[in-house]
């Protein structure tokens, strides 16, 4: 007979991550206390421990650097579009009217 896969809820995972992130707690010890494999708890740490969780989606929120990069990318697209418009306008007005 094969092993059946256990499923853990998001609240259980967040609590396990919270315990593992407390100073002085070892991941291996917390995993053993909870009855999960250490690699499973480490995967939960990657998923839930990277930052404050968005309650609606249960995904980590973007950190400040990622938000800044996204903002700069949007600004770059806007500036390139403005540049192209100005180039076209200069070309139009630079034509000899005769």
> Each residue of 2-60: pLDDT tens digit?
678 888 888 888 888 888 888 888 889 889 988 999 999 999 988 876 555 444 445 55
Domains identified in the chain, total number: 2
Q: Are 67 and 43 part of one and the same domain?
A: no
- Segments forming the whole domain that contains residue 54: 1-61
Task: Tell me the pLDDT band of 1, cut-offs 50, 70 and 90.
Answer: low
7 and 52 housed in the same domain: yes
At residue 56, the pLDDT reads 45
- Shortest CA distance to 48 belongs to which of 83, 12, 82, 24? 12
Shared domain for 47 and 93, answered yes or no, is: no
Question: Can you give the pTM of this predicted structure?
Answer: 0.48
Token pair belonging to 80: 């390139």
pLDDT in the model for residue 3: 75
pLDDT at 69 over 60: yes
- How many CA atoms does the CB half-sphere of 91 hold within 13 Å? 6
> How far, in Å, CA of 20 to CA of 40, rounded?
12
Percentage of residues in the chain with pLDDT exceeding 90?
27
């Amino acid at each position: 007979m094969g092993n059946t896969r256990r499923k853990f809820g998001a609240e259980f995972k967040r609590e396990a991550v919270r315990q593992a992130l407390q100073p002085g707690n070892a991941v291996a010890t917390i995993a053993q206390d909870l009855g999960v494999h250490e690699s499973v708890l480490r995967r939960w740490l990657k998923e839930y421990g990277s930052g404050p969780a968005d309650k609606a989606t249960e995904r980590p929120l973007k950190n400040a650097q990622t938000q800044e990069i996204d903002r700069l990318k949007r600004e770059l697209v806007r500036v390139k579009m403005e540049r192209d418009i100005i180039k076209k306008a200069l070309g139009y007005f630079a034509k000899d009217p005769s």
